[in-house]
């Protein structure tokens, strides 16, 4: 059998084996030819500069999500990877989880934290961890601060109150809050039970993404972010302060509340944001934009256009495009 090749390095190629199987003028038609499935394979973040942005659109007989079942361990002992971490049971493949059940025993916000996955290195201050929290009890004389990273909190069930040394944030589903690294706080429950998500950011702090050609408006606007006013607690009773440091936890007893800041000024502070104020931008003709256009907050890395974390939402919106199916059937990305 003779095989053909296309010449060049780093070119933008196009090729098809059946006539008309490659769409022209669009990437994700509503009905690809021959009943094929459109998928995007990303070799760089969506937001990488044009010169280093890599992606290919594939039109296949069946979606690649159907190509795998559950994996079993295999051994190739002479092939090593860095760092050489040895055997592990890290999940591989597509997974989803049922909601974490509400606790039956009294459980506060810190004790109710459940890690789902981690990435990077807490000691090297890169990467992140994703957690689910459940709680049915307020923190009264217990306080906490995280030296490993800032916390992005996304409630899913129930309202809660973050009582911090810089003020009080009340948070409900549909809102998010960011608690900076090193901020002392306790969590009080507004509702009887709460559940939600926490992103623990080990790297550079979250910030607003650059809008690029979108311009000066839309997406998340700075005026919609809210920082609490000063508040303090004058209480001289036994309290506990727990610190998370280099992945470990340490607790100390103190004879007063650490939430005793009467006044403050500066630009390092907790804040909340109502996701309903996000102004999305969509397609106008055909082919929907990459999900990076729905980024609320981003934590940059040392490489331009590559984020350590992107927090992206898909809010209710009018979204109309001719002859286009909104998401690709399945998306594989190195990010």
How far is C-alpha 282 from the geometric centre of its chain's CA atoms? 21
Q: What is the per-residue DSSP string for 133-195? A: EEESS--SSEEEEESS-EEEEEEEES-EEEEETTEEEEE-TTEEEEE-TT--EEEEESSS-EE
Strand runs labelled E in the chain: 37-42, 55-60, 113-121, 126-135, 142-146, 150-157, 160-164, 167-171, 175-179, 185-189, 194-201, 225-226, 239-245, 248-254, 271-274, 295-300, 307-312, 330-333
267's CB contacts (< 8 A; 6+ apart) are none
Phi, psi of 69 (to 5 degrees): -105, -145
Among 131, 250, 288, 331, which one carries the catalytic annotation? 288
* Distance in angstroms (rounded) separating the CA atoms of residues 129 and 127: 7
* Distance in angstroms (rounded) separating the CA atoms of residues 248 and 121: 13
Is the CB of residue 162 less than 8 Å from the CB of residue 133? no
Instruction: Kindly list the distances between the CA atom of residue 302 and the CA atoms of 299, 305, 333, in Å, as whole numbers in the listed order.
Output: 10, 9, 19
* Distance in angstroms (rounded) separating the CA atoms of residues 68 and 25: 32
Q: How many residues comprise the chain?
A: 335
* Distance in angstroms (rounded) separating the CA atoms of residues 195 and 132: 7
Is 88 one of the catalytic residues? no
Which residues on adjacent β-strands are paired with residue 161? 170, 188
Number of helical (H) and strand (E) elements in the chain, helices listed first: 0, 18
Residues with a known catalytic role? 288
């Amino acid at each position: 059998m003779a095989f053909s090749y296309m010449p060049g390095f780093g070119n933008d190629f196009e090729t098809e084996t059946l006539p008309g199987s490659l769409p022209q003028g669009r990437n994700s038609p509503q009905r690809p030819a021959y009943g094929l499935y459109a998928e995007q394979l990303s070799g760089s973040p969506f937001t990488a500069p044009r010169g280093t942005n890599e992606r290919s659109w594939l039109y296949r007989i069946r979606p690649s999500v159907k190509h795998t079942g559950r994996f079993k361990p295999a051994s190739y002992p002479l092939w090593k990877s860095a760092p050489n971490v040895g055997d592990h049971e890290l999940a591989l493949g597509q997974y989803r989880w049922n909601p974490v059940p509400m606790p039956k025993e009294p459980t506060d916000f810190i004790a109710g934290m459940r890690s789902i996955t981690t990435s990077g290195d807490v000691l090297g201050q890169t990467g992140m961890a994703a957690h689910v929290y459940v709680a049915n009890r307020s923190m009264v004389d217990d306080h906490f601060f995280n030296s490993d990273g800032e916390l992005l909190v996304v409630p899913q069930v129930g309202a809660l109150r973050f009582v911090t040394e810089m003020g009080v944030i009340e948070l409900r589903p549909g809102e998010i809050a960011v608690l900076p690294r090193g901020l002392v706080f306790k969590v009080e429950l507004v509702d009887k039970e709460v559940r939600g998500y926490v992103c623990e950011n080990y790297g550079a702090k979250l910030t607003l993404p650059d809008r690029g050609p979108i311009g000066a408006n839309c997406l998340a606007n700075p005026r919609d972010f809210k920082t609490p006013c000063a508040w303090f607690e004058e209480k001289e009773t036994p309290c506990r302060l727990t610190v998370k440091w280099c992945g470990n936890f340490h607790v100390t007893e103190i004879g007063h509340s650490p939430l005793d800041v009467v006044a403050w000024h500066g630009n390092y502070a907790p804040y909340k944001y109502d996701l309903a104020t996000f102004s999305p931008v969509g397609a106008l003709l055909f082919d929907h934009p990459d999900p990076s256009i729905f980024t609320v907050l981003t934590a940059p890395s040392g490489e331009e256009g590559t984020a350590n974390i992107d927090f992206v939402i898909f809010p209710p919106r009018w979204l109309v495009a001719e002859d286009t199916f909104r998401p690709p059937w399945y998306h594989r990305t190195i990010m």
